[in-house]
Chains A and B, each alone.
Chain A
Amino acid sequence: MSRSLPRLGPAVRTAGLWAAPLVFLALFYALPMVQVLRLSLTRGGGLAAPFVEVLRSPLQRDILRFTFLQASLSTLLTLLVGLPGAYLLARYSFRGRSLLLALTSVPFVMPTLVVGAAFQALLGPSGWLNLALMELFGLSQPPIAVLHTLTAILLAHVFYNTSIVLRMVGDFWSHVDPRIEAAARTLGASRWEVLRRVTLPLLLPAIAAAALLVFLFDFTSFGVILVLGGPRLATLEVEIYNQTVGLFNLPLAAALSIIQLTCTLALTVAYTRLAARVSRPISLRPRRLTQRPLHGLRQRILAALIIGLLLALLITPLAALAARSVASIGSNGDQGLPGVGGLTIDYYRELWLNRRESIFFVPPSTAIGVSLTYACATVVLSLALGLPAAWALAYRPESAASRLFDPLLLLPLGTSAVTLGLGFIVGLNQPPFDLRASPWLVPLAHTLVALPFVVRSLTPALRSIRPRLRQAAAILGASPRQVVTRVDLPLVGRALLVAAAFAFSISLGEFGATALIARPEYPTVPVMIYRFLSQPGALNYGQALALSTILMVVCAGGMLGIERLRLADVGEF
């Protein structure tokens, strides 16, 4: 056990660690959510009226069903695509492994709107695939019409979340002793039996954790469905947004939010129960003992296939987006075949021009500045709150506080961002917190979204520091404070960096809550992109793609930079 905070009783210490995160959650999560609940309950016609209305309406029932359907299918597909990749990354060392890992994590930090735009640029009526097919076969109509279908949504969700499976399952897998599998082989188990009876059961906690996270993301997906789903396909999240912004039906939006929250809460509780039951103490082994080079033709072909699939799914949409943002394409369609007109930087130049002399014009440099400011504030805030919580979870996992608050921390993750935004609008507009007009609202919301990620990345790293190391440092004369600065921080430095990167990129790309609470004169980049996307015309579309590309480059650059830092870090265990 940690002895780095002496003289206080363990219970007091744990409570002290939890204080700041809990106050934050109470003020900026519980309070707004209670307001949402009250709003949904205080409508005329009794307490249950909005719920009855939602469940009675065939339209809302369809939305509920579709939300579950697409999330389940997306999760399944994501696992199917991700698990072979996780295997490859976990068990083999090969040239370009780190690059592959870095490339595949780029989609995860992409803002949802950028993903939507990227898939439009690849699969839309005037996307690359259709352009190529029309050119090839002389067609006058785009042959592929996946836009505004379930397929497009599934593809985008797989694109988005595969890296979660690669990371969570792959990382765990890479530390599982391969001799456990060898032991099964010597006892007469065929490869298939080893997979079924040993490997998969051992990986189950990691797979379940990844699947739950993926499901939650897909269940509350917003930007992707707003852009790719079209007017007919809506999830709960999109419907909440439409009811709030389009129809000003706040009570119905609140009722939908409560239903969504109930679902995600149930899932989270089920997950925590499952995790407690299936996880085993597995002695993890350093990667150099578990990985081997690719050997023989069969393994090489398998590796090539997996890498090919990953790159095709994860990289082509982004490449399509970047290429589309610099291609001038006659997309009006009335002149016959649209065709590629050549390279252009017009869309980028137009970003800085205020052609209509609109008073709402905001130069993109401002939006980028606003986004970066919010992102930095989010990093500081979420680390300051997440570190003590992770500390408590890592070293006092059995304390009542930790067991109670652990699932609470996940709650904001299960709460839709749009609901959070709605909560901020209805909950923080009266004393003592009249923050409605404050630009601080945005980083506060972003911190709520980022906090679960920060805590989840820090806790395992803190837990991996064996108490013996601290004792050794203390015996060598390190004071409790020095133990923290000389042992803990250097060892979790990498995890801190990863947590910071998560917070940063989540803030840069967050759209659901920001769409509701951002002030018009301080739009973030995703808000600007959506403004362009929702206006007609090739120029607006081109500008949306150009701005998306800028955001993509910023996010990808940050992510790859982090990967490089991680590579330079030697201490694996």
Chain B
Amino acid sequence: MSESSEVQRPSPETHPDHGIEVPCSGLVLDGIRKTYASSVALEDISLCVPARSIVAVLGPSGSGKSTLLSVVAGLETPDAGRVLWEGEPLDGVPTHQRNFGLMFQDFVLFPHLNVGRNVAFGLLMHRLAPEAVTARVQECLAQVGLAGFERRDVGTLSGGEQQRVALARALAPRPRLLMLDEPLGALDRTLREHLLVEIHRILRSTHQTALIVTHDQEEAFGLADRIVILEAGRILQEGDPQQVYLHPASPAVARFLGLANLLPGEATPGGTQTALGLLPVTAPHAMQCTVLLRPDAARLDGHGAFAFDATLLEITFRGPTSILGVEARGHRLSFEVPSVAPLPAVGSPIHISLDSDAIQILP
């Protein structure tokens, strides 16, 4: 299977607002609230993970992501709200009877068991016959590319290998739902990119229902059918990855996604007034708004719906692209352009133009 065909996957049965009102076949969180002594960790969280789909909860650290997984796993009891699986409330069902798998952030392998025993652990808990255990362990290790690692001590594994063992261990008992907590967070960049593709392939090929929490948008976009943006215990937006990235619902979401060119403005049916001038985006009636200038859509060739002059302050070379830091009318903005484009010297004026779909109004 080529990677491009995976990226072009069909959208799951999405619903414009919250997916809860429609009956959902997989995991449903209904109004979950969890407070700790000092703070609110989760505030009225409702979301759905349809069977065979992959949902990623994306949020900065401290947004309540890990608490969410603990609640679903039954390791924490919510103060209010319910967790349901296929319509059945799971209140009072202890963790070990939920058959939900959880892959921990830094793997948390059993240090006293070898690789094979780690993977076999869940199977033994489910009272599988010894021959079946051996076969399934082999199968799972082969699936993650670690065939023959059964007798290795977990202390001798590299980070990537530990990650694979953790995945095999979580997949082995065929959990109804697999949860992944920052699945690639502890690994270096090259390994991340490699494993991202591999985890995606494994989850897809086994039709695994999965709930991922991460602070890394690449991870979320690369793995999930559907993205839920969480901040300070609240859901800010949900939708499929393209939708969320191309149409952030609020300045907070845009900022979190790294779309930081935000200007205050006043939108009217005739255009939007900002410090840079009248932008060619309209609203049905006049309102205060924030305007997002997408950093990935700047052109230096003078064509476009809107153009402005700025001073080039810095150039950060990033390989295929370069990040330009500019100042225009007292605003610091940054744009990503192909590195092959000819650039003026730092400190000199620069003429930047934007296509109309690169300018968006956020409430």
Contact = CB atoms under 8 A, between A and B. Distances in A.
Interface stretch (A102-110, A176-184, A492-500, A547-555): A176-184
A194 B97 CA distance: 13
A193 B123 CA distance: 13
Contact of A202 (B112, B169, B173): B112
A486 interface: no
Nearest to A281: B155
Interface string B143-181: 000000000000100000000000001100100000000
Given A180-B108, A183-B104, A184-B110, A189 B155 contact: no
B256 interface: no
A430 interface: no
A505 to B, nearest CB: 35
Given A179-B104, A280-B155, A281-B155, A187 B111 contact: no
B108 A179 contact: yes
Contacts of A204: 112
A198 B118 CA distance: 11
B96 A190 contact: yes
A188 B126 CA distance: 7
B73 A187 contact: no
Interface string A169-207: 000000001011011111111110100011001101000
A198 B111 CA distance: 9
Given A182-B75, A281-B155, A189 B96 contact: yes
Given A183-B102, A185-B95, A187-B101, A193 B112 contact: no
Contact of B37 (A185, A187, A293): A293
B340 interface: no
A282 interface: yes
B108 A183 contact: yes
Contacts of B306: none
B122 interface: yes
Contacts of A198: 110, 112
B89 to A, nearest CB: 19
A185 B111 contact: no
Contacts of B261: none
A188 B104 contact: no
A187 B155 CA distance: 21
B95 A186 contact: yes
Given A186-B95, A188-B99, A197 B111 contact: no
Nearest to B154: A280
A177 B125 CA distance: 21
A293 B37 CA distance: 10
A188 B127 CA distance: 10
A189 B111 contact: no
B100 interface: yes
Interface in B65-122: 70, 73-75, 94-102, 104, 108, 110-112, 121-122
A282 B37 CA distance: 30
A183 B121 CA distance: 10
Interface-central residue, B73, B74, B95, B155, by most chain A CB under 10 Å = B95
Contacts of A282: 111
B96 A202 contact: no
A281 B155 CA distance: 7
A189 B112 contact: no
Contacts of B98: 186
Contacts of A193: 96, 125
Chain A interface category by residue count:
20 to 34
A293 B122 CA distance: 29
A434 to B, nearest CB: 54
Contacts of A187: 96, 101, 121-122, 125, 169-170, 173
A184 B112 contact: no
Contacts of A180: 108, 110-111
A189 B126 CA distance: 8
Given A280-B111, A280-B112, A281-B111, A186 B102 contact: yes
A204 B99 CA distance: 29
A183 B95 CA distance: 10
Contacts of B94: 185, 190
Nearest to A201: B112
Contacts of A281: 111, 155
B128 to A, nearest CB: 10
Contacts of B73: 182, 185-186
Contacts of A185: 73-75, 94-96
A188 B110 contact: no
Contacts of B74: 185
Nearest to A278: B112
B37 to A, nearest CB: 7
B155 A188 contact: no
Nearest to A184: B121
A293 to B, nearest CB: 7
Contacts of A183: 102, 104, 108, 110, 169
Given A182-B75, A183-B102, A188 B173 contact: yes
B77 to A, nearest CB: 9
A51 B346 CA distance: 94
A186 B101 contact: yes
A542 to B, nearest CB: 51
Contacts of B108: 177, 179-180, 182-183
Contacts of B155: 280-281
A472 B348 CA distance: 42
Interface in B230-245: none
A201 B117 CA distance: 13
A182 B170 CA distance: 12
Contacts of A190: 94, 96, 125
Nearest to B74: A185
A544 B125 CA distance: 59
Contacts of A202: 110-112
Contacts of B169: 183, 187
Contacts of B99: 188
Contacts of A280: 111-112, 155
A186 B97 CA distance: 8
Interface in A243-293: 280-283, 293
A198 B94 CA distance: 18
A505 B283 CA distance: 81
B75 A188 contact: no
A184 B108 CA distance: 10
A191 B73 CA distance: 15
Nearest to A295: B77
A296 to B, nearest CB: 9
Interface of B: 37, 70, 73-75, 94-102, 104, 108, 110-112, 121-122, 125-126, 155, 169-170, 173
Given A182-B108, A184-B110, A198-B112, 15 more contacts: A180-B111, A182-B95, A183-B110, A183-B169, A184-B125, A185-B75, A186-B96, A186-B101, A187-B121, A188-B122, A190-B125, A191-B96, A193-B125, A197-B121, A204-B112
Query: What 8 A-B pairs have minimum CB-CB distances, sorted nearest first?
Result: A187-B122, A188-B125, A185-B95, A186-B102, A280-B111, A201-B112, A179-B108, A189-B125
28 contacts: A180-B110, A182-B75, A182-B102, A182-B104, A182-B108, A183-B110, A184-B110, A184-B125, A185-B94, A186-B96, A186-B170, A187-B121, A187-B169, A187-B170, A187-B173, A188-B96, A188-B97, A188-B122, A188-B125, A190-B94, A191-B96, A193-B125, A197-B121, A202-B111, A202-B112, A280-B112, A280-B155, A283-B111
